[in-house]
Homo-oligomer: A and B are copies of this chain.
Amino acid sequence: MPIRVTIWNEFVHENTNKVVQGIYPNGIHGAIAEGLKKLLGDEVAVTTATLDQPEHGLPQDVVDNTDVMLWWGHCAHGKVSDEIVDRVQKRVLEGMGLIVLHSGHFSKIFKRLLGTSCALKWREAGERERLWVTSPAHAIVKGLGECIELPETEMYGEPFGIPTPDEQIFISWFEGGEVFRSGCTWRRGAGKIFYFRPGHETYPIYHNETVRQVIANAVEWAKPEGNWAGAMDAPNVPVDKAPEKITAKGGSLHEEGQEGFK
């Protein structure tokens, strides 16, 4: 059974700017989809979703039937509804993989799952970037050498407002003098999260073969290990279902109700 991938893109720059349109005539999501199909073939079933669709292209059944979601956004993070963010968060905690790309660092879903500012320094000066592999032989760097060199990129600089990553996969060097944690993983609930820095609307990053390889590797890495159906549940385990016999007895106020996850 193929890995069911949904590529989400806010799809705004491609419709409003001729330069971006020239680089990504089928949208950023289209370029990423092309790369995944080329590299993974029948191993994946790829669909795309965009902000302007009903429910941003992410109705409940689409989210429920996604194994790995990719997220690209930049200028319209605020237009993503909180209801959809709730839905995607819940699905990640249940087991769906999530790959957040480039300016997606400031998306609601990424900030929601990490709980921190996700802020960083930035500069657009078309400078050279080198992403050094810090975790050789990790599934995400399969087929790569010791670094990825990109000739012209936007700079992202530290401090990056994230929790300490579970695994550090890449760290970037920039021509202008900064560094950045460009590839990071975290596990949240049953879901695996990968943040990958490369990608920008005015550079043809998602046509780059090595960048595409990393994204394909990450899709394979992030696929669910299982499904935690009760990820949000806070079940009461009454005395008659307790594994051991309890001798003490105390009082309860729970008729007043304890709130669940929302």
Contact = CB atoms under 8 A, between A and B. Distances in A.
Interface residues of A, number: 116
Interface stretch (A45-53, A62-70, A242-250): A242-250
Contacts of A186: 163
A83 interface: no
Interface string A89-131: 1000111000000010010000111111111111111111010
How would you classify the secondary structure of chain A's contact residues: helix, strand, loop or mixed?
Answer: loop
Tallying the copies of this chain within the complex gives 4
Interface in A136-165: 136-139, 141-142, 146-147, 149, 151-155, 157-161, 163-165
A259 B124 contact: no
Interface stretch (A30-38, A206-214, A221-229): A221-229
B123 A237 contact: yes
Contacts of A74: 253, 258
Contacts of A134: 158-160, 181
A136 B190 contact: yes
Contacts of A168: 164, 168, 181
A116 B146 CA distance: 19
A116 to B, nearest CB: 6
Given A157-B237, A190-B138, A126 B249 contact: yes
A122 B179 contact: no
Interface string A159-181: 11101111110011111111101
A187 to B, nearest CB: 7
Contact of A251 (B19, B230, B246): B19
Nearest to A235: B121
